[in-house]
Chain A
Amino acid sequence: MSPVGAILRKELRAYFVSPTAYVVISVFLLLMGLLSFLAVANASNRSLQMLRGQGNLPELNLNEIIFRPVFYNMAVILLLVVPILTMRLFAEEKKLKTMELLMTSPVTVTDIVTGKFFAAFTVFAGMLALSAVGPLALAPFAEFRWEPILSAYLGTLLMGGLFLGAGLLASSVTENQIIAVILSFGALLVLWLFGWAGQVFADSVVGKILSYLSPLDHFEHLVKGLVETSDLVYFLAGIVFSLFLTHRVVESQRWR
């Protein structure tokens, strides 16, 4: 087995022998269920109002009035949930001195970072797949298009990957899991706020740069069903960059 595979399996196992993965996934799905319910209830309210006001039932775009808000809210939930998936990955190894086993084994730092990232990504992707219960449950009763939903899932998957990369980086700089989780919340919220700042200073170059740096716009395109190379490049580059920084941090700790 490749070293990446060995580390990936070990991390996956760690998620499921402790309550972490179960709790995170359950809370996430519970919130998603509530949000989906509220979105559907809101949509039926609005269609009733329209029926009363106009006397006929207009064609409602369910993608727009149900799924878009659900995905936007899901992004905010992920902002809070993803750092919990990553906080342990390096901080615990350092605290328990098991990092020394990894660093004295014939594996590279790249193997370690990749293995850990993909373990977290697998759990995240599984969690996301379970949330597809929402649209699947609605499908027999309502008409909507699947393409924008799939592209929204692609966006969520990529943005989650970016969050995981940032969380992994935060975990690599400290031995303390609480500090790791706070650092990733902070970093992700700042990235998020870049998007608002970009709207505030929309006319200036700084505003454009900030908008580009924030995942907000890129995510929005994908949720709307727009699959553009530039957005995919943004997310993939962001993931690679965060993993590269994590690699540098872990490598530099070897010298101390």
Chain B
Amino acid sequence: MIQVEHLTKQYGLKTAIEDVSFSVEKGEVLAFLGPNGAGKTTTMRILTASLPATSGTARVAGFDCFDQPRDVKRVIGYLPEIPPLYADMTVTEYLIFVGRLKGIQPDRLPAALDRTLERLSLGDVRGRLIANLSRGFKQRVGLAQALIHDPPVLILDEPTVGLDPKQIIEIRQLIKELAGSHTIILSTHILPEATAVAQRVVIIHEGRIVAEDSQDQLSARLRRSDKVSLTLTQPPLDVSDRLLTLPGVLSVHQEGAATFLVETELGHDLREDLARFAVQNEWGLLELKLVSMTLEDVFLHLTQQEDGMDTAGVSAGAPESQP
């Protein structure tokens, strides 16, 4: 549904994205993950055919974003980071205007309006001025704007930013409902969001794609060690040194007052050995659990590695996930 090949965008001398390639299948939800300023918005704006790329190609539903902008614009719904709302219109007036702009035939407009209002639970505020709506409702009107012409492709730039937890859950739920029948690209710098809604994650950092895979595979591929968290009631002072004597233990970090993170060689499950060791020494074993690599670890790992290449010494404050 979406093919992006070797996309590069330069603003003057500044390179916003460089050699970005990825593709999204029909019905798939892809999350763009990256810190602010990584190039997420730039990539999305190129896909909406409103921003021309410096080089490379982008195709949406078979249409070229540069050569056939009108066709591309017809098949996408786009929610920018700041919802493009006219504060002096009511919700209904606004959606009718957007519907006309998107080329919905006048006889189909009332039905499209009702369907969109219902889908986003905006029925109660349909007559209210957008200026008087809460942040959550404004975001929903923004989504309604992207959905009114029922486009097969949705591009959502940080759809949950600035919302309260309940509203975030609602929006995520809606995205999940739309998945399958719609191809969705969303960007976020909030890691759990990518996990919550997307099947596939593209991690973008300083304009380059640093990883692209499903979340499980990403963490599996990047995992170089297993980690076990160990909580003790009476740890001796030299607990780290004593643990390191066990075969297979690579390092020990103190996490809390009595919690230790034991890093072990990949494929060596040392939980049994650790349990026995702790019990034999009467350290008061409270908890022992395997720590799997979260998306956050993957993300930090990848982005910090990149920084390390650019400026030596930045990786000094490396996260736990680095071997």
Contacts and interface: CB of A to CB of B under 8 A. Distances in A.
User: Do A and B associate with each other?
Assistant: yes
Interface of A: 1, 3, 5-7, 9-10, 13-14, 17-18, 96-108, 254-256
Nearest to B44: A104
A7 B51 contact: no
Contacts of B70: 106, 108
Contacts of A101: 80, 84, 98, 101, 145
A108 B48 CA distance: 14
Given A14-B86, A107-B101, 9 more contacts: A6-B101, A10-B97, A17-B88, A97-B80, A99-B84, A100-B84, A106-B102, A254-B50, A255-B51
B278 to A, nearest CB: 58
Contacts of B102: 105-106
A6 B100 contact: yes
Given A97-B80, A100-B80, A18 B101 contact: no
B103 interface: yes
Output the residue of A103, A105, A255 with the most chain B CB within 10 A: A105
Contacts of A108: 70
Contacts of B49: 104
A101 B11 CA distance: 22
Contacts of A14: 86, 88
B49 to A, nearest CB: 7
B187 to A, nearest CB: 15
Contacts of A105: 73, 98, 101-102
Given A101-B145, A104-B76, A255 B101 contact: no
Contact of B84 (A7, A97, A256): A97
Contact of B85 (A5, A9, A98, A99): A98
A255 B50 contact: no
A111 B206 CA distance: 36
A108 B71 CA distance: 12
Contacts of A13: 89, 93
Contacts of B52: 254-255
A98 B85 CA distance: 6
Interface string B268-311: 00000000000000000000000000000000000000000000
A7 B101 contact: yes
A3 B11 contact: no
Contact of B88 (A7, A9, A18, A104): A18
A3 B101 CA distance: 6
B75 to A, nearest CB: 9
Enumerate the 6 nearest inter-chain pairs by beta-carbon distance, A residue then B residue, closest first. A6-B100, A101-B84, A106-B73, A103-B50, A98-B84, A104-B48
B100 to A, nearest CB: 4
A256 B51 CA distance: 8
Nearest to A255: B52
B79 to A, nearest CB: 10
Contacts of B80: 97, 100-101, 104
A30 B51 CA distance: 46
Interface in B86-100: 86-89, 93, 97-98, 100
A43 B280 CA distance: 118
A104 B78 contact: yes
